[in-house]
Amino acid sequence: MKVKHSKYKNTGILFELLTRQLTSDTITGDQSKSLSFLKKHFNSKTELLKEYKIYHTLATKKYDNENQATMLIEELIKAHERLNKSQLRREKYNLIKEIKDTYNVNDFFKAKITDYKVMASVFNLLENKTATALSIVDSKVTILEHITRKQKQKKQNLVLENFNKQDKNTRLLTYKVLLERFNNKYSGLQENQKTLLKEYVNSVSNSPALKSYLNQEIKLVKKDLTKYSKKVEDKVVAIKLNETKNMINSLDKKSSVQDDNVINLLNYYELINELKTIHG
Tens digits of residue pLDDT in 42-53: 988 999 999 999
The 8-class DSSP code of residue 129 comes to T
Burial per residue of 10-22, b for 16 or more beta-carbon CB atoms within 10 angstroms, e otherwise: bbbbbbbbbebbb
pTM above 0.85, yes or no: no
Lowest-confidence segment of 5-9, 52-56, 213-217 by average pLDDT: 5-9
Handedness of CA 16, 193, 99, 32 (dihedral sign): positive
Q: How far apart are CA 256 and CA 15, in angstroms?
A: 26
What's the pLDDT score for residue 257? 79
Q: How far apart are CA 271 and CA 153, in angstroms?
A: 38
Share of the chain above pLDDT 70, in %: 78
Half-sphere exposure of 100 (CA within 13 A, CB side): 9
Decide: 10 and 119 in contact? Cβ < 8 Å. Answer: yes
Decide: 51 and 83 in contact? Cβ < 8 Å. Answer: yes
Asked whether residue 1 carries a pLDDT value surpassing 50, the answer given is no
Lowest-confidence segment of 18-27, 73-82, 98-107, 120-129 by average pLDDT: 18-27
Mean pLDDT of all residues in the chain? 81
User: Where does the pLDDT of residue 217 fall: very low under 50, low under 70, confident under 90, or very high at 90 and above?
Assistant: very high
Decide: 122 and 21 in contact? Cβ < 8 Å. Answer: no
Other Cβ atoms within 10 Å of 268 Cβ, number: 22
Q: What helix, strand, coil percent values describe the chain, rounded to 5?
A: 75, 0, 25
Three-state SS annotation for 52-113: HHHHHHHHHCCCCCHHHHHHHHHHHHHHHHCCCHHHHHHHHHHHHHHHHHHCCHHHHCCCCC
User: Where does the pLDDT of residue 152 fall: very low under 50, low under 70, confident under 90, or very high at 90 and above?
Assistant: very low
What's the pLDDT score for residue 171? 55
User: Where does the pLDDT of residue 210 fall: very low under 50, low under 70, confident under 90, or very high at 90 and above?
Assistant: confident
Q: How far apart are CA 91 and CA 193, in angstroms?
A: 37
What's the pLDDT score for residue 156? 47
Half-sphere exposure of 227 (CA within 13 A, CB side): 11
Decide: 17 and 111 in contact? Cβ < 8 Å. Answer: yes
**For the range 97-105, what are the long-range contacts, defined as Cβ-Cβ under 8 Å and sequence gap of 24 or more?**
98/33, 98/37, 99/14, 99/18, 99/37, 102/33, 103/21
Burial-class residue 175 by CB neighbours within 10 Å (0-12, 13-18, 19+): exposed
